[in-house]
Amino acid sequence: MVKKVRPNAEVKYSYGTDGRDDYYYPSYSCPKCGNYINENQQACEECGTFFDWSKTATIQIVRQIVWR
């Protein structure tokens, strides 16, 4: 059995084509070597680590009030 690991995910920001269609999106990287990967890519092209895509990464925005 091949051991699969979940890729690292971070939130990135795109200005879009003209600055009016901006959006946030998840960006993925290999947890072993740090190489950037595409969503649903089966293995890292640099180190050969296999990825577990059984769960979906979503962006959650939390707003809170902090007293200073």
Ordered strands of the 36-37 beta sheet = 8-14, 23-29, 36-37
CA nearest 26: which of 7, 50, 46? Answer: 7
- Cβ count near 37 (within 10 Å): 19
pLDDT in the model for residue 10: 95
- Give CA–CA dist 68/45, Å, rounded: 46
Average pLDDT over residues 30-57: 95
Task: Tell me the pTM.
Answer: 0.79
Give percent helix, percent strand, percent coil of the chain, each to the nearest 5.
Answer: 0, 30, 70
- Give CA–CA dist 34/30, Å, rounded: 5
pLDDT more than 90, % of the chain = 74
pLDDT in the model for residue 64: 87
Give tens-digit pLDDT for 41-50.
999 999 999 9
